[in-house]
Amino acid sequence: MKEIKLKNYIEEISMGPFGSDIKVDNFISFGIPVLNGSNLTSHKLVENSFKFISKEKADTLGRANASRGDVVITHRGTLGQVSYIPNNSKYSRYVISQSQFRVRFKDKLNPVYFTYLMLSKYGQKKLLSFKNHVGVPALAQATSNFKELELNIHELEEQQKIAAVLSALDDKIELNNRINTELEQMAKTLYDYWFIQFDFPNEEGKPYRASGGEMVYNEVLKREIPASWEVGTFNNWIKATKSGDWGKEFEEGNYTERVFCIRGADINGINGKGEIKSPVRFILKNNATKVLKTHDFIVEISGGSPTQSTGRLALLTEQVFQRFNAPVICSNFCRAGSLKDEMYIFNFQQEWKRLYDGGILFGFEGKTSGIKNFLFDSFINSYNVVLPEKSIVEKFYDFANSLEKKNKLIFFKINNSLVYATGYYPC
- Work out the pLDDT band at 305, boundaries 50, 70, 90: confident
Give the DSSP H or E segment for 41: none
Report the DSSP pairing between strands 255-262 and 328-330. parallel
Q: What percent of the chain has pLDDT over 70?
A: 94
Q: What is the mean pLDDT of residues 223-246?
A: 96
Distance CA 264, CA 301 (A): 8
Q: What is the pLDDT of residue 416?
A: 53
Q: What is the pLDDT of residue 152?
A: 95
User: Where does residue 3 fall: left (phi above 0), alpha (psi -120 to 50 degrees), or beta otherwise?
Assistant: beta
Q: What is the pLDDT of residue 314?
A: 94
Q: What is the pLDDT of residue 408?
A: 61
Does 373 have pLDDT greater than 60?
Answer: yes
Q: What is the pLDDT of residue 415?
A: 52
Provide CATH 3.90.220.20 ranges for the chain.
2-153, 181-419
User: Where does residue 345 fall: left (phi above 0), alpha (psi -120 to 50 degrees), or beta otherwise?
Assistant: alpha
Does 423 have pLDDT greater than 60?
Answer: no
Report the DSSP pairing between strands 2-5 and 150-153. antiparallel
Taking alpha carbons only, the member of 203, 131, 163 closest to residue 43 is: 163
151-160, 178-187, 288-297: least confident range: 178-187
CATH class of segment(s) 2-153: alpha beta
Does 105 have pLDDT greater than 50?
Answer: yes
Taking alpha carbons only, the member of 61, 62, 105, 63 closest to residue 84 is: 105
> Which burial class, exposed, middle or buried, applies to 23 when counting CB atoms under 10 A from its CB (0-12, 13-18, 19+)?
exposed
Does 410 have pLDDT greater than 70?
Answer: no
- Give 128-177 pLDDT, tens digit per residue: 999 987 777 899 999 999 999 999 999 999 999 999 998 888 888 777 77
94-98, 240-244, 331-335, 366-370: least confident range: 366-370
Q: What is the mean pLDDT of residues 236-240?
A: 97
Higher local confidence (pLDDT), 111 or 369? 111
Indicate the CATH number for domain 181-419: 3.90.220.20
Q: What is the mean pLDDT of residues 210-218?
A: 96
* Mean pLDDT for all residues in the chain: 89
Does 407 have pLDDT greater than 80?
Answer: no
- Give 345-354 pLDDT, tens digit per residue: 999 999 999 9
Phi, psi of 212 (to 5 degrees): 90, 20
Does 422 have pLDDT greater than 80?
Answer: no
Does 249 have pLDDT greater than 80?
Answer: yes
Does 294 have pLDDT greater than 80?
Answer: yes
Q: What is the mean pLDDT of residues 281-294?
A: 94
